[in-house]
Amino acid sequence: MPIVVVNIKEGRTVDQKREMVSRMTDVLCDTMKVKPAAVRIIINEMKNDDFAIGGTLVCDAPSMQVKQP
């Protein structure tokens, strides 16, 4: 049973996450030769105050914040 953990910054829509897990499941089923029911995907969403780059919290440096499409 493949178990995948995905860490992303918060701000993605539910539709984006649905598409991501659907596509990831397809790839895992194809490469690992398992059925979709065997695939587990865990999504961890991080806020800007839970993520740092180079020793600085992203919330403290607006230039580091990723702009959502």
Domain-located, residue 20: yes
What integer best gives the mean pLDDT of the chain?
A: 92
* 18-25 average pLDDT score: 98
> Is 80 exceeded by the pLDDT of residue 11?
yes
Q: CA 3, CA 66: separation in Å to the nearest integer? A: 27
Quick check: is 69 in a domain? no
Task: Classify strands 40-46 and 3-9 as parallel, antiparallel or unpaired.
Answer: parallel
Name the pTM for this structure: 0.80
Residues known to be catalytic:
2
- pLDDT grade for 63, boundaries at 50, 70 and 90: confident
Q: Does 58 map to a domain?
A: yes
How many folded domains does the chain comprise?
Answer: 1
Give the domain range for residue 14. Answer: 3-64
Look at residues 46, 49, 45, 29 and name the one whose alpha carbon lies nearest to residue 37: 29
A 10 A CB-CB count for 14 gives 7
In this model, does residue 23 exceed pLDDT 90?
Answer: yes
Closest to 5 in 3D by CA, of 54, 30, 41: 41
Q: Summarize the confidence of residues 17-45 as an average pLDDT.
A: 98
In a domain, 7, yes or no: yes
Q: What is the CATH number of the domain that holds 50?
A: 3.30.429.10
Between CA 68 and CA 44 the distance in angstroms is 17
**Would you place residue 67 in the very low, low, confident or very high pLDDT band (cuts 50, 70, 90)?**
low
